[in-house]
């Protein structure tokens, strides 16, 4: 299927790119062509005609179709591996950024309340900072994003070479015993 699609793709691409050079050759095949249209021979008593622009659309559409077929039949596994390689770090990075941001939101007022007034420029009471409702929400948000990050990093972490070799060994032994 892949070889046939590749051959048809090449034929469609050549015909698409060199349509103006191919039109004079159609007279040899008995197909009349004018500057704007191609008149096909009578087929079952019907006179068919197609414009150059319409033929160019058909040839271009055929080339795109066969490119799609080649992608689906031969390159889809590589595309999926690439997407997996890109998506995996992003799915770990987004919860990590959310966790770090929420940890900053939680710890920033606490650290400012513990620093001397000369550094912060304002006197902030530690007890008042910790007893605020916003601080409680930030603590819960930090805990939730931390758990989310830990879950995602555990689920999407890449396997080590040692684990891969052990799994291959288990599969080999199962085939040998079964």
What pLDDT, on a 0 to 100 scale, did the predictor assign at position 1? 66
Q: What is the pLDDT of residues 50-63, one digit of tens each?
A: 777 888 888 899 99
Residue 26, pLDDT above cutoff 90: no
**Average pLDDT in the chain:** 83
- What is the C-alpha separation between 26 and 38, in angstroms, rounded? 9
What is the number of other CB atoms lying within 10 angstroms of the CB of residue 79? 11
Answer whether 135's CB lies under 8 Å from 106's CB.
yes
pTM attached to this predicted model = 0.53
Q: Of residues 66 and 123, which shows the higher confidence score?
A: 66
What pLDDT, on a 0 to 100 scale, did the predictor assign at position 95? 94
Contacts of 51 (CB under 8 A, 6+ apart): 36, 37, 38
Query: What percent of the chain is modeled with pLDDT above 90?
Result: 23
Helices (H), the chain: 2-17, 19-22, 52-70, 76-114, 117-120, 126-130, 133-155, 161-177
Q: What is the pLDDT of residues 132-171, one digit of tens each?
A: 889 899 999 999 999 999 999 888 877 778 888 888 899 9
């Amino acid at each position: 299927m892949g070889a046939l699609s590749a051959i048809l793709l090449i034929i469609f691409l050549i015909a698409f790119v060199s349509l103006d050079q191919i039109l004079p050759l159609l007279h040899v095949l008995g197909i009349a062509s004018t500057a704007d249209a191609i008149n096909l021979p009578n087929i079952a008593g019907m006179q068919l005609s197609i414009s150059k622009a319409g033929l160019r659309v058909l040839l271009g559409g055929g080339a795109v179709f066969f490119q799609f077929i080649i992608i689906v039949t031969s390159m889809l596994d590589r595309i999926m591996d690439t997407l997996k390689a890109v998506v995996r770090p992003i799915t770990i990075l987004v919860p990590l950024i959310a966790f770090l941001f929420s940890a900053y939101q939680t710890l920033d007022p606490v650290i400012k309340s513990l620093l001397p007034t000369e550094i912060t420029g304002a006197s902030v009471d530690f007890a008042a900072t910790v007893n605020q409702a916003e601080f409680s929400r930030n603590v819960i948000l930090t805990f939730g994003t931390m758990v989310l990050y830990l879950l995602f990093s555990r689920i999407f972490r890449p396997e080590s070479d040692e684990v891969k070799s052990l799994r291959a060994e288990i599969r080999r032994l199962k085939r040998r015993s079964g």
